[in-house]
């Protein structure tokens, strides 16, 4: 089918494909720098640890800031639209000796800002509460040791100030996500104490840091469990909901941080009602929080449908996965495009009509049409979208990645 024919077919069910193309182009996705080097960062050669791990050793990963920047630029050239880049504090750039996390400043991120300006990217940020010797007995901000807590509080303060620098320099908002791995492998005797210490540490961070409250948007990420911390996670879903709600910050939903039979998409509308905005880590858990590359599966479809129905402008959409067993650049491009494809499919769904059927109790018609609309000619609209934004529409993008892999990645 041609785009013109698809446009007519969609018009019959009340969908304006021109508007969809325009609307989708305006949705920025925050692309995670950490897919490029297996959450390694530039502080040590140790790799990811403390509640986070990657599997695989596919060749060609970025090991310097220049390589990571080049790979991100290349990946972005195959993704339609203009997007954001999500950095972690462990990606600070150090001349000679490494500045420790409690002393990081904007200077460690100036090269990233210069690069972002040159490429027209906006930046988001994350303090890094893992892969560090000061994660003691699996704890950071909730440690019973005041010295350890202070180190991580100082880190949080520094990071909010770096986020403020990003926001000012790039004239944009900057989302900053707090994820702490804190938890216990086995049944703790005290479940309350670590949570009280966590809340106190977070309060101190937000109180001490100087940042523009309008432009810097902090959120706290909840989690069910991690490898090695199976019995107790300090920042559980309930803790995060309570903390974020009472302190007027946002809560972040990660698709891999719930029981696998839970419907994460169902949580979105409640979040939106009570927080106004939702921060989202788009990920794909396979049997556990494995952070596989996102696919066009039912979970992603359901999340995208909710995002579109609730208004994409109310979301901070950030990808969070890291597969070290396949070409990392391909993993970025595929995941970003899959996210956009599902958003487009959701925009091409006549949601008002389906809602009316629900409200009228017409459940048979609702089911039939929900299924039939899935087979509408989405790919023709997608191809037109890609054409207008100057990127390949189909799998030919992968040939370009293969060439980059041969010419650049495999020569590292
Ligand atoms: C870990 C969390 C967290 C990290 C990133 C690197 O389970 O999902 O968001 O993946 O901060
Ligand atoms: Zn996450």
Nearest Cα to Cα of residue 54 among 292, 405, 230: 292
**Do the Cβ atoms of 236 and 222 come closer than 8 Å?**
yes
Number of domains in the chain: 1
Calpha distance 372→28 (Å, rounded): 29
357 within domain boundaries: no
380 within domain boundaries: no
Question: Is 155 among the catalytic positions?
Answer: no
Q: Which residues of 19-43 are buried (b: 16+ CB within 10 A; e: fewer)?
A: ebbebbeebbbbbbbbbbbbbbbbb
pLDDT of the residue at 388? 98
Give the burial class of 266: count Cβ atoms within 10 A of its Cβ; 0-12 exposed, 13-18 middle, 19 or more buried. Answer: exposed
Domain residue limits at 255: 26-349
Which residue, judged by its Cα, is nearest atom 3 of ligand 1?
Answer: 179
Question: Is 132 among the catalytic positions?
Answer: no
pLDDT of the residue at 51? 87
Instruction: Give 223 Cα–ligand 2 centroid separation in angstroms.
Output: 8
Around ligand 1, the residues with Cβ closer than 6 Å are: 34, 39, 52, 126, 179, 221, 223, 254, 281, 289, 320
Q: Is 277 left (phi over 0), alpha (psi -120 to 50) or beta?
A: beta
Calpha distance 46→17 (Å, rounded): 48
**Torsion of the alpha carbons at 221, 225, 231 and 232, rounded to the nearest 10:** 0
**Do the Cβ atoms of 176 and 120 come closer than 8 Å?**
no
**Do the Cβ atoms of 104 and 128 come closer than 8 Å?**
no
279 within domain boundaries: yes
Which ranges of the chain have pLDDT less than 50? none
Question: Is 405 among the catalytic positions?
Answer: no
Residues 6+ apart with CB under 8 A from 162: 89, 104, 105, 106, 108, 109, 125
pLDDT of the residue at 1? 83
pLDDT of the residue at 169? 98
Calpha distance 18→68 (Å, rounded): 35
Question: Is 380 among the catalytic positions?
Answer: no
Question: Is 406 among the catalytic positions?
Answer: no
Q: What is the phi/psi pair of residue 233, to 5°?
A: -120, 125
Question: Is 73 among the catalytic positions?
Answer: no
Give the burial class of 9: count Cβ atoms within 10 A of its Cβ; 0-12 exposed, 13-18 middle, 19 or more buried. Answer: middle
Sole residue written with tokens 């990946």: 75
Ligand 1 atom with minimal separation from the 32 CA: 6
133 within domain boundaries: yes
270 within domain boundaries: yes
7 within domain boundaries: no
341 within domain boundaries: yes
Nearest Cα to Cα of residue 349 among 369, 367, 328, 330: 369
Which residue, judged by its Cα, is nearest atom 7 of ligand 1?
Answer: 52
Residues with a beta carbon under 5 angstroms from ion ligand 2: 254, 281, 320
Looking up residue 82, the CATH number of its domain turns out to be 3.20.20.150
For a substitution probing ligand 1, which of 178, 179, 255, 323 has the most ligand atoms within 8 Å of its CB? 179
Q: Is 311 left (phi over 0), alpha (psi -120 to 50) or beta?
A: left
Q: Which among 38, 299, 306, 320 is annotated as catalytic?
A: 320
Instruction: Give 320 Cα–ligand 1 centroid separation in angstroms.
Output: 7
pLDDT of the residue at 317? 98
pLDDT of the residue at 49? 87
Q: Which among 257, 267, 292, 309 is annotated as catalytic?
A: 257
Say whether 196 sits in a helix, a strand or coil. helix
pLDDT of the residue at 283? 98
Which residue, judged by its Cα, is nearest atom 10 of ligand 1?
Answer: 320
379 within domain boundaries: no
How far does CA 268 lie from the centroid of its chain? 15
Instruction: Give 129 Cα–ligand 2 centroid separation in angstroms.
Output: 13
- How does strand 278-282 pair with strand 250-254? parallel
pLDDT of the residue at 45? 77
pLDDT 10s digits, 16-72: 999 999 999 999 999 999 999 999 999 987 788 888 989 999 999 999 999 999 999
Question: Is 221 among the catalytic positions?
Answer: yes
Calpha distance 313→371 (Å, rounded): 27
Instruction: Give 334 Cα–ligand 1 centroid separation in angstroms.
Output: 19
Ligand 1 atom with minimal separation from the 221 CA: 9
Q: Which among 221, 299, 306, 384 is annotated as catalytic?
A: 221
Find the ligand nearest to 51 CA: 1
R_g (Cα) of the chain, nearest Å? 22
Question: Is 124 among the catalytic positions?
Answer: no
**Two tokens, residue 314:** 């109310």
DSSP state of 250: E
């Amino acid at each position: 089918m041609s785009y013109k024919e698809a446009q007519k077919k969609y018009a019959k069910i009340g969908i304006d494909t021109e508007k969809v193309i325009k609307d989708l182009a305006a949705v920025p996705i925050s692309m995670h720098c950490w897919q490029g080097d297996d959450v390694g960062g530039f502080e040590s050669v140790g790799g990811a640890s403390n509640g986070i791990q990657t599997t695989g050793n596919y060749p060609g990963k970025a090991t310097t800031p220049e390589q990571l920047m080049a790979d991100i630029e290349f990946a972005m050239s195959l993704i339609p639209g203009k997007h954001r880049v999500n950095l972690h504090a462990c990606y600070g750039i150090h001349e000679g000796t490494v500045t420790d996390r409690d002393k990081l400043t904007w200077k460690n991120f100036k090269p990233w800002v210069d690069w972002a300006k040159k490429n027209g990217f906006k930046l988001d940020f994350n303090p890094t509460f893992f892969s560090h010797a000061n994660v003691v007995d699996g704890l950071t901000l909730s440690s019973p040791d005041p010295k350890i807590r202070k180190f991580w509080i100082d880190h949080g303060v520094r990071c909010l100030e770096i986020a403020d620098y990003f926001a000012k320099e790039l004239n944009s908002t900057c989302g900053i996500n707090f994820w702490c791995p804190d938890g216990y492998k086995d049944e703790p005797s005290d479940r309350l104490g670590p949570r009280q210490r966590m809340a106190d540490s977070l309060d101190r961070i937000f109180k001490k840091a100087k940042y523009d409250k309008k432009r810097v948007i902090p959120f706290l990420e909840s989690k069910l469990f991690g490898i090695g911390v199976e019995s107790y996670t300090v920042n559980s879903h309930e803790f995060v909901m309570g903390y974020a709600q009472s302190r007027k910050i946002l809560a972040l939903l990660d698709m891999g941080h719930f029981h696998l039979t839970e419907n994460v998409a169902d949580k979105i509308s409640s979040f939106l009602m009570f927080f106004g905005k939702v921060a989202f880590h788009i990920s794909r858990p396979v049997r556990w929080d494995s952070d596989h590359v996102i696919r066009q599966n039912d979970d992603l479809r359901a999340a995208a449908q909710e995002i579109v129905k609730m208004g994409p402008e109310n979301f901070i959409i950030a990808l969070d996965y890291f597969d070290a067993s396949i070409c990392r650049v391909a993993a970025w491009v595929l995941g970003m495009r899959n996210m956009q494809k599902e958003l487009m499919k959701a925009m091409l769904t006549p949601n008002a009509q389906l809602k009316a059927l629900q409200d009228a109790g017409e459940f048979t018609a609702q089911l039939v049409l929900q299924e039939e609309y899935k087979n509408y000619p989405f790919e023709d609209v997608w191809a037109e979208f890609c054409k207008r934004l100057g990127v390949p529409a189909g799998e030919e993008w992968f040939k370009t990645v293969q060439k980059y892999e041969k010419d650049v990645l495999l020569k590292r």
